[in-house]
Structure 1
Amino acid sequence: MNSTRAAIPASDQPVTVFGPDFPFAYDDWLRHPAGLATLPPEVHGTEVGIVGAGIAGLVAAHELMKLGLKPVVYEASRMGGRLRSQPFEGGQGVVAELGGMRFPASSTAFFHYVDLLGLKTRPFPNPLTPAAGSTVIDLAGQSHYARSLDDLPPLFREVAQAWDEALSELGFGELQAALRERDTVRLKALWDRLVPLWDDRTFYDFVAQSRAFSRLSFRHREVFGQVGFGTGGWDSDFPNTMLEILRVVLTGCDENQHLIEGGVQQVPLGLWGHAPEAIAHWPQGTSLASLHGGATRPGVTAIARAPNGRLAVTDTWGTRREHAAVLVTCQSWLLTTQIEVEESLFSQALWMALDRTRYMQSSKTFVMVDRPFWKDRDPRTGRDVMSMTLTDRLTRGTYLFDHGPDRPAVICLSYAWMSDALKMLPHGPEKRVQLALAALAKIYPDVDIARHIVGDPITVSWEADPYFLGAFKGALPGHYRYNHRMHGHFMQDGLPPAERGIFIAGDDVSFTPAWVEGAVQTSLNAVWGIVHQFGGRSPAANPGPGDRYPALGPVALPD
């Protein structure tokens, strides 16, 4: 048990993304006064290639720079990766969050950097939360207006209760108590027992076969899939392995979520420009931006082993640069479709894991409106004229973002996944807005949303972006071994020399895809791995993830 929390009653200790596969306290490691690590002076100033300027790449670059190395960041598209905040023209700073937009308080390593940069947050307007104000759930042509679960018909409360009971069948309460207390021995014993039982089974299998849901109707499962509880519907995740869903709810990723005021892209951009107070080798005032002359290097087209044993990185314009180590943070599919990676750099087992990674589609459509008109009261009912909306119609999820009465507001007209996202894929922004407005008009026939729209819509389909080819990983049954191979790749002492020196990180390498905390944690794993390669080490008082991996690493399933 972590001694810093020992005096706090278990019920008062926060849920954090502490494992469960690898229960290492990244937040404690980051804030320890002894620092993350030290490097031999003779390697100070050595270049390390960082492929991708998303949150994983920039966290790693920032920490390696602080330790005295020289990160060389390559970026093919936009800095920030899938933390993409696009401003509306003339919108007084209001943005559309095209990638990550809601961040659970349990993401303590991520919020370490949010706090470092002094960014402000506020609760995300998820369904049935105070931040949303009101929620409309529209299913099978019938709408229900609510401010809390108690305002909904009994069917919805029965579904919520069944979900809680189904989780308790897995021993959820004991698992989460061990996680809250950071009792690594008990947590690993409980979790490692579940891994072989649930790796091969889908989320839907769990729901349908649970005692709690099996005594209820198909309609209850259907409502759970369409609405869910916390962040919205779950049915797009029904084919995924149950382990993935269990991690999400166990670590609190689906609750107590926040948005970053002004846009989450400020976090990676802030790390790019931040000059840390404590820094080795480099003069005070050094930042990633200053080391790069203000701009990243171009995108990468090839990575190969040079004759001298270093790693040769070739960029878009044919410039070849050699590095003693390279961290690749772009999605794994890009290593076979966008970057020519020498096959011998990874084992065939790891190539299998990278190639079998399955990405989920996702689309969003935003409009800016003149004001938060949804707060107007309907004189006939006394209700808000429009609410955060969950529906089985084309839009699926509609979110409302209020920036104050005297400022423009933003509506995410549609946030859809998988097959629902693919329905939007062939259409341009105007058509997407028209389709969304037509669907919402059936729910709010007396509300003229279009009358309030100002400026141009903003939309994204992540599967159509050649630098992403999907929004985030969705592990299928049987994928645990693949995930284990990718996550543990930073432990390289046992690898043959031909496979050392290239590292991978990102949320798709983590056990918690789609959540920024996974990107940050795997980035910090890679920082430890690179430091270890250069002969550095973490302080004895503050051991790093690689120091603890032999004891706390994920359970291995037989091949």
Structure 2
Amino acid sequence: MWAQGRGGTIPFMSPVHTNVLSGGQHWPQRPKRVTVLGAGVAGLVAAHELERLGHSVEVLEARLEVGGRVRTHSFVGRGPLAELGAMRIPASHHRTMQWIDLLGLSDRVRQFRTLFSDDSSYLETCTGHLRVRDATSVLVEEFRRGLPPGEYREESVLAATWLTASVNAVAPGAFRTNLHSDLNLELLDLLDGIDVRPFFVSTGGVERLDVNRFFAGNPKFAGRSRLAHFFDDITVETSSALFRLEGGMDQITVRLAGSLRGPVHRGRQVVGLHVRPDGVVVETRRGLDVVASHCDYVLCTVPFSVVRRMNLSGLDDDKVATVHDMQYWPATKIAVHCQDAFWEGDGISGGGSFTGGLVRQTYYPPVESDPRLGAALLASYTIGPDSDALTRFSPPERERVVLDELSRIHPELKRPGMVLDVVTQAWGEDFSSMGAASVRWSKDAATAEEERALAAKPQGTLFFAGEHCSTYPAWIEGAIESGLAAAQDVHAAAPAERPLVATGYRRMRGGAA
């Protein structure tokens, strides 16, 4: 079978008609009725897979648009685009790249240029902002303070200096501060066993570590550290093998939703989940009413930061604890519609600056729309405590603070008529997410896997998916991984017990918040 979506045809394979239990028992695999909660990547991929397996699927989405934490903003209609959510795809995330191909988007894949990928971009140092190409001597001098003299190779010190600069650029708030207590010596010990010379680049006779090439050439470096999860993310975020989609990342979710046979109901905020022996009662808010519906099978892809605000019953103690204890970090993006790409006149061809302060990271997207419509600048990208610090201001104040701070590096922002519009996405304040992503940076591999397994563990006929249930938290890859796994679990599940009396619908005034 083939489904015709807006992105072209997407293949549906014939469903499997029998299931085999471990004890050898067989039952006919009849189509199940599945309700998927959340129209983000995990929910839409799972819905697609369930339909491929022959099941009947409906999707409930709290917002009026699909996409979840994939959110592309277009200035002035068909003008420049700003990615307010997911903005990059590592080449190593094979599931994501396969789905991009499946959705007919391969011809729109472009390189994503990241931090330290342009020598002309800026870097915060103890002496102020310097161009990346000019920062080595200042960074090395700062790094050497407190080190035992003469114990480490010069090349190890130089490499560790730039790796520390990467840590400063990526790690947020107190996490960043706590790292520096003993991270420098750990980095030096690891680097002393590696030939780092091939990964140096020279600009004007001054050497620095090409962080992108170093991580590409030493893929197992991160796993040797006690901070393996954290360094895994640094490896990805500073990689030269990152991609984006020309025309916006939201093309993924729009095409996924358009390919489904079943309905995607928008504006259906779930406020309660109740596991019963014969299925799941799902409470949704519609205006002032709460509507309770009996569902045979439910797949919840809603972040636990939102689930824990729901009215819940029928979940075991471990599941309740996981829902309430999982850590989510906020993230805030502030994008600016500029009259033109002024940074190109400053010699910056793309990539990102580590601007520090409240701004933290600044990215310079390429101009792909009509240049007469201006250019988009991702003025500020913050996560964790850095995002919290920024969102203590009101939305107009945080935009003013960011523009004032960034104009010290880019005074062109103060030019009359340069700033045409500003848009903010604070994921920690978004009712449909209450956080940007789950984070396991400070957890060892065994603890992280235990948390993942508990997050994904079904409760009766209530199943779970989302990046928080995956081995790739905070990435589209994780959403896809978990969505496919959960769809297979639903497909393999024993038939739900049928209630003796049809539950139907009941309406209540008010209800759970």
Q: Which residue number in structure 1 is paired with residue 406 of structure 2?
A: 440
Distance 1:36 1:105 in 2: 30
**1:440, CA displacement in angstroms?**
2.0
Q: Which residue number in structure 2 is paired with residue 65 of structure 1?
A: 51
Q: Which of 322, 328, 345 is the matching residue for 1:353?
A: 322
Q: Which of 299, 313, 316 is the matching residue for 2:269?
A: 299
- Which blocks of at least 5 consecutive residues in structure 2 are unaligned? 1-10, 19-26, 144-154, 165-177, 193-208, 214-224, 496-513
Q: Which residue number in structure 2 is paired with residue 186 of structure 1?
A: none
Distance 1:230 1:511 in 2: 23
CA separation of 1:396 and 1:430: change in aligned 2, threshold 3 A: same
Q: Which of 256, 259, 263 is the matching residue for 2:241?
A: 256
Matched letter for residue 81 of structure 1:
G
Q: Which residue number in structure 2 is paired with residue 474 of structure 1?
A: 439
Q: Which residue number in structure 1 is paired with residue 352 of structure 2?
A: 388
Q: Secondary structure at the match of 2:230?
A: helix
Q: State the aligned residue count.
A: 417
**1:411, CA displacement in angstroms?**
0.6
Note the 1:47-126 alignment, pairs <5 A. 47-77=33-63, 78-88=65-75, 90-119=76-105, 120-126=108-114
**1:212, CA displacement in angstroms?**
0.7
Distance 2:125 2:136 in 1: 18
- Aligned residues with identical type, % of pairs: 24
Q: Which residue number in structure 1 is paired with residue 188 of structure 2?
A: 212
Deviations 1:63-101 (A, max 9, x none): 11111111111111241111111222x252432211111
Matched letter for residue 398 of structure 1:
T
- Which blocks of at least 5 consecutive residues in structure 1 are unaligned? 1-32, 167-201, 217-226, 232-239, 275-286, 378-382, 536-559
Distance 1:433 1:398 in 2: 14
CA separation of 1:466 and 1:448: change in aligned 2, threshold 3 A: closer
CA separation of 1:400 and 1:46: change in aligned 2, threshold 3 A: same
Matched letter for residue 122 of structure 1:
R
Q: Secondary structure at the match of 2:449?
A: helix
CA separation of 1:151 and 1:165: change in aligned 2, threshold 3 A: closer
**1:420, CA displacement in angstroms?**
2.0
Larger relative strand fraction: 2
Q: Which of 128, 131, 154 is the matching residue for 1:145?
A: 131
Residue 431, structure 1, aligned to residue 367, structure 2: no
Q: Which of 158, 161, 171 is the matching residue for 2:159?
A: 161
**1:516, CA displacement in angstroms?**
1.4
Q: Which residue number in structure 2 is paired with residue 314 of structure 1?
A: 283
Matched letter for residue 328 of structure 2:
Y
Q: Which residue number in structure 2 is paired with residue 327 of structure 1?
A: 299
**1:228, CA displacement in angstroms?**
11
RMSD (Å), alpha carbons: 3.8
CA separation of 1:116 and 1:453: change in aligned 2, threshold 3 A: farther
Give yes or no for contact 2:84–2:425 (8 Å, CA) kept in 1.
Answer: yes
CA separation of 1:165 and 1:491: change in aligned 2, threshold 3 A: closer
Q: Which residue number in structure 1 is paired with residue 482 of structure 2?
A: 522
Q: Which residue number in structure 1 is paired with residue 21 of structure 2?
A: none
**1:144, CA displacement in angstroms?**
2.2
CA separation of 1:259 and 1:165: change in aligned 2, threshold 3 A: closer
Deviations 1:362-382 (A, max 9, x none): 1111111122121125xxxxx
Distance 2:318 2:84 in 1: 34
Give yes or no for contact 1:83–1:264 (8 Å, CA) kept in 2.
Answer: yes
Give yes or no for contact 1:350–1:486 (8 Å, CA) kept in 2.
Answer: no
CA separation of 1:109 and 1:160: change in aligned 2, threshold 3 A: farther
Deviations 1:11-42 (A, max 9, x none): xxxxxxxxxxxxxxxxxxxxxx9969624496
The answer to which of 45-54 and 419-428 deviates more is 419-428
**1:504, CA displacement in angstroms?**
1.2
**1:150, CA displacement in angstroms?**
8.0
Q: Secondary structure at the match of 2:123?
A: strand
TM-score (norm 2): 0.71
Q: Secondary structure at the match of 2:308?
A: helix
Q: Which residue number in structure 2 is paired with residue 504 of structure 1?
A: 464
Residue 369, structure 1, aligned to residue 338, structure 2: yes
Q: Which residue number in structure 2 is paired with residue 462 of structure 1?
A: 427
Q: Which residue number in structure 1 is paired with residue 122 of structure 2?
A: 136
CA separation of 1:406 and 1:301: change in aligned 2, threshold 3 A: same
Distance 2:323 2:445 in 1: 12
TM-score (norm 1): 0.65
Q: Secondary structure at the match of 1:451?
A: coil
Distance 1:118 1:313 in 2: 35
Distance 1:36 1:242 in 2: 44
